[in-house]
Homo-oligomer: A and B are copies of this chain.
Amino acid sequence: MKEQGFGDFIRRMREEKNLPLRKVAAYLDIDTSTLSKVERGERPASPDYLKPLSIILETDLKVIQTTFIADKINKDFGGLEHLTEGLKEAEKQLKRKKK
0/1 interface trace, chain A 68-99, chain B, CB 8 Å (1 if under): 11101110110111111111111101111100
Q: How many copies does the complex hold?
A: 2
CB neighbours of A1 from chain B (8 A): 96-97
User: Number of A residues contacting the other chain (C-beta, 8 Å)?
Assistant: 34
Q: Bound state CA distance, A89 and B66, in angstroms?
A: 7
CB neighbours of A66 from chain B (8 A): 82, 85-86, 89
> Is B72 a contact partner of A76 (Cβ separation < 8 A)?
yes
> Is A69 a contact partner of B90 (Cβ separation < 8 A)?
yes
CB neighbours of A76 from chain B (8 A): 72, 76
**Contact among B47, B50, B67, B87 with A69 in the assembled complex (CB-CB below 8 Å):** B87
**Contact among B74, B79, B95 with A90 in the assembled complex (CB-CB below 8 Å):** B74
Q: A1-B96, A90-B87 are in contact. Are A82 and B61 (CB under 8 A)?
A: yes
A residues lining the B interface (CB < 8 Å):
1, 47, 50, 61-62, 65-70, 72-74, 76-77, 79-91, 93-97
